[in-house]
């Protein structure tokens, strides 16, 4: 379960993990005890706890978060999978509506964290692009 701030715009918790932001409230700095670092100039995630984050050659998109490789749609605009976890979007392709993990097991915490972060950063990137227009 995700809870939000009073305005309903910023996530505050993810399950039992508290989400902490930097002083300006613009970047997610930690999820529970898991700290995140960002590149200085491009504001791209560099690490999540012990995991490193890998970006495409021109740093335009996240390619890997820790052990989980990201796969995108044909246009390269939407994340379709994180490791074995598949993401499905609504008809317009703008909002994630369902995820599927092969097998019968529950979603492991590491995939839950990766899913949340990837979707969160994707939404933040889109919001920033919309402001520039």
C-alpha count within 13 angstroms, C-beta hemisphere, residue 30: 9
What pTM does this model have?
A: 0.89
pLDDT digit string (tens) for the chain, length 133 residues: 889 988 878 899 998 999 999 887 678 999 999 999 998 877 889 999 999 999 987 767 899 999 999 999 888 788 999 999 999 999 887 889 999 999 877 889 999 999 999 999 888 888 877 887 7
Assigned token pair, 133: 């227009």
């Amino acid at each position: 379960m995700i809870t939000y701030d009073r305005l309903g715009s910023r996530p505050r918790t993810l399950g039992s993990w508290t989400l902490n932001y930097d002083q300006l409230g613009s970047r997610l700095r930690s999820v529970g005890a898991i700290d995140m670092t960002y590149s200085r100039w491009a504001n791209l995630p560099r690490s999540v706890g012990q995991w490193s984050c890998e970006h495409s050659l021109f740093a335009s998109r996240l390619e890997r978060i820790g052990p989980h490789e990201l796969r995108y749609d044909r246009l390269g605009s939407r994340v379709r999978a994180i490791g074995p976890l598949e993401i499905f979007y609504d008809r317009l392709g703008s909002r994630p509506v369902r995820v599927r993990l092969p097998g019968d097991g529950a979603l492991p915490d590491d995939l839950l964290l990766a899913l949340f972060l990837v979707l969160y950063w994707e939404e933040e990137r889109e919001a920033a692009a919309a402001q520039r227009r």
